[in-house]
Chains A and B, each alone.
Chain A
Amino acid sequence: MTYTAEIFSSSIIAVGDFNPAIFSPDWLEINNLVGKDDADIARGEGIGRPMLVSHQVSTFETEWFALQVLENQFSLSSKGVLSPALQDLAVSIFQLVPHTPITSVGLNFMGHFKIASESEYHRIGDILAPKKIWDTLYQDSSTGLADLTIRIQQGRRGVSLEEKTVKNISLQPSKKIKCGVFMSYNDHHEMSAAENGLRLAEQVSNLVENRWQLSWRDAERVFNSVLSLALGELE
């Protein structure tokens, strides 16, 4: 059985030193990264949430993305249906601010999955986080999985682990779907000094261009496999 998310979204988050005041709807429109209608919505002239653009924080949204930039974090999140347009927007933004010192970037994918029955729903939690220890400690109580994160690094534990590229896979009960499971996939990359003459933001731009769709496919594979394996549908 293939598990397909009921709700799926993505978020591209970069950590570094940003100048939030740059990131305004006008700036995106002038650089032709969004059209007039999107810019109007982002400026709060439509259905969007009122924008805030200042030296310390910039936050606004259109019908298809939300942008929030703090002095130390850039977050671009999809709204509505996810499409490669989000990737294009991130790639383009980072191209326009090549001097920004970005230390790391994460390609995030989130999915809410509906589980067929309550027993299967609990089985997933019990397989991924056995309750034996906790049931011993709290014999008259109910124990359940609230948040589980697994980190995946290339290499071997205790010998050599790749620190610059890490995947964090998380699982929680879904807040949006009854008897549902929420899973998130974080493809994290630490940036190093300029490579091949490219500045850090240009490296990030290339990384998003080259990795985002691969990470999307891998996230779908991982989400489906975790559920299938937990429910014993795969050997």
Chain B
Amino acid sequence: MHARNDVLKTSYSSYSNNPTARRQGDASEYRPVEKVPETTFPIDPDLPCDSSITRGAEARKRYEPPVAMGFLRVSMDSIPLQIWEGTVVDVDHAARMMRVLLEAKIGEKSQHTGEIDLQWVSEQDQDLVCPGAVFYLTLFKRTKRSGIENAQELRFRRRPSWSSAQLRQINEDAETLLAKMAALPMSE
């Protein structure tokens, strides 16, 4: 038998004592907790995180953040029926239409093209509509108290600029590739 330990910290909430609420995300409440450092939050003066704390200094009281006794109350009511990852091929602003390449994420289905009216793109994503942009088109079933409904969602992909590590990796790859290239033959 395996004992449960800190591994569960990355599972769906680890704060509630109620296992059902802990995973299924109900009963969200916050309770401020005051902790005294000597017993619950040992301060190691060797750590360079706070230059004001010295070995002889008296540990001050520290107010810990409110502890989420349950997880965030997140509404879970949907199941995706199909997700397409789409790439914008070109945009016809006059006709308010974009031509796209769609690749199904669920099941084995061949890639196909389509046209999507720009009215389906949310206002905040309109400036992202350009050739090469990636979006997700999701058809889903939503369970409500009044019944079940089918709906769709179109959301454009947002990524930050390339990180320094990515740029470093790209430079290294480029240098490796360049080193493998033979010199062009000299013309006579």
Binding site for B on A (CB under 8 A): 4-9, 11, 13-15, 20, 31-38, 49, 54, 56-57, 59, 61, 64, 66, 68, 70-71, 73, 75, 77-85, 88-89, 91-92, 95-96, 98, 104-106, 108, 110, 112, 146-147, 149, 151, 166, 168, 170, 172-176, 182, 184, 186, 188, 197-199, 202, 213
Contact = CB atoms under 8 A, between A and B. Distances in A.
Contacts of A32: 158, 160
Nearest to B4: A149
Contacts of B85: 84
17 contacts: A11-B12, A13-B9, A14-B10, A68-B72, A75-B72, A78-B74, A78-B76, A80-B77, A82-B78, A88-B159, A89-B158, A96-B160, A105-B10, A174-B24, A182-B23, A188-B10, A197-B165
B20 A83 contact: no
Given A84-B85, A98-B165, A73 B9 contact: yes
Contact of B83 (A64, A75, A83, A170): A83
B73 to A, nearest CB: 8
Contact of B10 (A15, A64, A70): A15
Given A7-B143, A166-B7, A84 B136 contact: yes
Given A37-B124, A110-B23, A186-B10, A81 B80 contact: yes
A66 to B, nearest CB: 5
Give the contact-size bracket for chain B: 35 or more
A188 B138 CA distance: 27
Closest 9 interchain pairs by CB? A106-B10, A35-B124, A56-B65, A81-B140, A186-B11, A81-B78, A147-B19, A37-B124, A9-B76
A8 B35 CA distance: 37
B72 A77 contact: yes
B92 interface: no
Nearest to A114: B143
A10 to B, nearest CB: 10
Contacts, number: 181
B142 A184 contact: no
Which of B2, B68, B143: most chain A CB closer than 10 A? B2
Given A77-B71, A85-B136, A197-B165, A38 B76 contact: no
A8 B72 contact: no
Interface in B65-113: 65-66, 68, 71-80, 83, 85, 105
A37 B128 CA distance: 14
A50 to B, nearest CB: 12
Contacts of B136: 83-85
Which of B24, B66, B83, B122: most chain A CB closer than 10 A? B24
B8 interface: yes
Contact of B7 (A5, A78, A95, A188): A188
Given A15-B10, A32-B160, A98-B165, 11 more contacts: A7-B77, A38-B124, A61-B72, A68-B68, A68-B72, A80-B77, A81-B138, A83-B80, A95-B160, A96-B160, A106-B10
Contact of A175 (B14, B24, B77, B164): B24
A13 B160 contact: no
A34 B23 contact: no
Nearest to A93: B160
A110 B19 contact: no
Which of B12, B80, B122, B140: most chain A CB closer than 10 A? B12
